[in-house]
Amino acid sequence: MARILIVDDAKFMRMILTNILKKADHEVVGEGENGKEGVRLYAEVQPDLVTMDITMPEMGGVDAVKEIKQQYPDAKIIMCSAMGQQKMVVEAIEAGAKDFIVKPFDESRVLDTINRVIA
């Protein structure tokens, strides 16, 4: 079981991820709707893992990853992207994200990726 922070500007996406994670006995320790909130919440809750959307208002996912990794080099972050955002996914991985999940979410893919990253 991991303590997970979900950062996504779409409440619906946060809800879907929360349901997938809770079913697998993970604990959702916080939800943010933009990169700025994600950075602030990371410092507050110190999660085992973050799922981070790429495209968000105020601060995007790639910038949030850079900021979190700068302060917490061991942070484990998985990017969530819609189809066609490969270039941004590569940027996110280069910034320190461990992996990525493509939207719409496939439950088994989400859990496989999370289990691989927290192992």
- Which residues pair with residue 32 across a beta bridge? 7
Which residues, in sequence order, are CB contacts of 49 under 8 Å at separation 6+?
2, 3, 4, 5, 76, 77, 78, 114, 117, 118
User: Residue 97 has what pLDDT?
Assistant: 96
This prediction has a pTM of 0.95
Q: Which domains does the chain have, with CATH numbers?
A: 3-118 (3.40.50.2300)
Judging by beta carbons within 10 Å of its beta carbon (0-12, 13-18, 19+), is residue 111 exposed, middle or buried? middle
Is the pLDDT at 83 greater than 80? The verdict is: no
State the distance between the two ends of the chain, measured CA to CA, in whole angstroms: 11
Kindly report the length of the chain.
Answer: 119
- Integer Cα distance of 82 and 71 in angstroms: 27
Confidence of residue 84 (pLDDT cuts 50, 70, 90): low
The 10s digit of each residue's pLDDT in 22-68 is 999 999 999 999 999 999 999 999 999 999 999 999 999 999 999 99
Mean residue pLDDT across the chain? 95
AA letter at 29: V
